[in-house]
Amino acid sequence: MKRLTGFQPTGNLHLGNLLGAMRPLVRDQQEVGSIAMIADLHAMTMEHDPQVLRQKTLEVATLLLAAGVDPKRTPLIAHSQIPEHTELHYLLECVCHFGEAARMIQFKEKSAAHSPGFSAPSEGPGAGGKQSAPVRLSLLSYPVLMAADILVHDVHQVPVGEDQNQHLELARTLATRFNARYGETFVVPEGVRPESAARIMDLADPSAKMSKSARSSAGRIGLLDPPELIRRTISRAVTDTVGVVRHDPENQPGVTNLLAILAECTGEAPGAYTSYGALKRDVTDAVEALLAPIRKRYAELSDDPGYVREILAEGKAAVRPAALATVRRARGAIGLLD
Ligand code: ATP
Ligand code: MG
């Protein structure tokens, strides 16, 4: 079974990324063959700064290593360094319908957020004069690129959160359609939800998930945040006026989130608490105990910037032969000269 887990270098990796994706990846890497991908091309679907993109790509790679990704078991790759991703992307665009891409909820949400008043694509992207910022065509086509990322590596399983379900379905549709029309070429991937993968909510708005791209950083714990900032973020976490510490996602989402973070960080069920303050102090200690060694390892790895680039080159060398073979199969099937 081969898996692929992607991380977009769109901002600072946070506690949600660690508990929901990085730790399951590290924990399962003995038994499951995974590829860890820094999705730099996906980070270009919205307005971006070239310097920041390069810096974040290296930062995310370094943090994955610092959190325990073993590059000998888990090839660590930068999306753009493997051109077969983009080559297969085009072939898959030729089996994807415009309507299928346009239906993607993330496209609708992000295009609307980026350009208030934008109501494409049924009226034609860029047609109206209302939008305040252009929506990149890559925002529309990126789920097809994501399908290419998955299919090119013959991935069997993709760990997905709810926000990615629709994209995984598209990858399955495109693989199935291509196979039916042009002959067996791709593995049709399955979505898996690692059982222990937690979904961590924003500390300032527990109705939203903690996210790199949330406008405010008030509810986010960055993996490289200094201890003092972490303490402040947790002490300001939104709770409620109930005054009882208990697991109640419906009525006490903030407290429930803190309890979940505590349980995830310590690996134990939380004890009884008589005050929110005491709970927050223990959450702070538990988060600090988890992040301190990662920060330390990150600092060590950052002393030698060449090292991470070498690891990425090794990851590329490890996955490329199979990716080339898949593209060759697809090219042949769809009618291109070899
Ligand atoms: P963005 O806002 O740019 O989409 P993100 O915070 O959602 O950033 P991604 O790079 O999209 O992060 O996701 C990386 C991995 O982390 C994915 O496997 C995703 O499911 C997981 N992940 C992201 N946010 C959380 C969260 N709050 N709790 C648990 N897992 C999360
Ligand atoms: Mg995301």
pLDDT at 126: 44
Nearest to 209 by CA among 17, 6, 55: 17
Q: Per-residue pLDDT tens for 285-333? A: 999 999 999 999 999 999 998 999 999 999 999 999 999 999 999 999 9
pLDDT at 133: 75
Q: Are 125 and 42 found together in one domain? A: yes
Task: Look at residue 17 and tell me if it is in a domain.
Answer: yes
Domain that holds residue 247: 227-300
Which of 164, 192, 211 should be mutated for ligand 1, with most atoms under 8 A from CB?
211
**Which has the minimum average pLDDT: 64-73, 80-89, 207-216?**
207-216
Q: Are 129 and 270 found together in one domain? A: no
Residue 6 alpha carbon to ligand 2 centre in Å: 10
Q: Are 185 and 314 found together in one domain? A: yes
pLDDT at 112: 87
Alpha helices in the chain, H assignment, sequence order = 15-17, 23-28, 50-66, 84-93, 98-102, 105-114, 137-152, 165-182, 227-235, 253-266, 276-302, 305-334
Q: Are 116 and 246 found together in one domain? A: no
Q: Are 174 and 285 found together in one domain? A: no
Task: Look at residue 209 and tell me if it is in a domain.
Answer: no
Q: Per-residue pLDDT tens for 107-155? A: 998 888 766 555 544 444 444 444 467 999 999 999 999 999 999 999 9
| Domain containing residue 290: CATH number | 1.10.240.10
Please say if 209 is a catalytic residue: yes
Q: Are 50 and 112 found together in one domain? A: yes
Please say if 296 is a catalytic residue: no
Which residue is closest in CA terms to ligand 1's atom 20? 161
Q: Are 193 and 309 found together in one domain? A: yes
Nearest atom in ligand 1 to the alpha carbon of residue 163 is 20
Please say if 212 is a catalytic residue: yes
Nearest atom in ligand 1 to the alpha carbon of residue 202 is 27
Work out the end-to-end distance of the chain between its first and last CA atoms, rounded to an integer number of angstroms.
29
pLDDT at 305: 82
User: Tokens 């379905």 — which residue?
Assistant: 169
Q: Ligand nearest 6 Cα, by number?
A: 1
Q: Are 237 and 165 found together in one domain? A: no
| Domain containing residue 325: CATH number | 3.40.50.620
| Complex ipTM over 0.90 | yes
Catalytic-labelled residue, pool 72, 108, 212, 296: 212
Nearest atom in ligand 1 to the alpha carbon of residue 43 is 3
Domains contained in the chain, number? 2
Residue 314, exposed/middle/buried by CB under 10 A (0-12, 13-18, 19+)?
Answer: middle
Q: Per-residue pLDDT tens for 11-41? A: 899 999 999 999 999 998 988 999 999 999 9
pLDDT at 196: 60
List ligand 1's pocket residues with C-beta within 6 A: 5, 7-8, 10, 16-17, 20-21, 161, 198-200, 209-213
Task: Look at residue 213 and tell me if it is in a domain.
Answer: no
pLDDT at 1: 75
Q: Ligand nearest 17 Cα, by number?
A: 1
Is 242 in contact with 252 (CB distance < 8 Å)? yes
